[in-house]
Structure 1
Amino acid sequence: MAGMMRGPLLDTVRNKTVATKLFSLSGLFAVHKPKGPTSADVLNHLQAKLLEEAGLPKPRRKTKNHILKIGHGGILDSAATGVLVVGIGKGTKMLSGMLAGSKYTTIGQLGKATDTFDSSGKVTEERPYHQITKEDLENVLQKFTGSIMQVPPIYSALKKDGQRLSTLVKRGEVVEAKPARPVIVYSLSLRKFKPPLFTLDVECGGGFYVRSLVNDIGRELSSCASVQELTRTKQGPFTLEEHALYEDKWTIDEIAQSLKHCMLLLSVEPSRKKLKTELSEEHTVSCEDK
Structure 2
Amino acid sequence: MNKFTKLGLCLGLLATVLFSACEKEYDSIETVDDAAIQTFIKASNVKYTKDATGYYYNISAQGSGAAVKNSDSVYYSYSFRTLSGTVFYQSTDLMIPSNFLGYTDRFTFNQTQYLLTPIREVLTKLNRGGKATLIMPSNLAFGKNGISSLNIESNANILVDLGIYSQSKRHEIDELEINKFISNNNLTVIKDESRARYSIITPGTGTDAINLNSTIVVNYVVRYLDGTEIAQSSSQITSSLFELYKGWQLILPGKVTAGGKLRLIIPADLGNGTTPLDFDIEIVSVTN
Asked whether the two chains share a fold, i.e. TM above 0.5, the reply is no
Using the size of structure 1 for normalisation, the TM-score is: 0.22
Higher helix share: 1
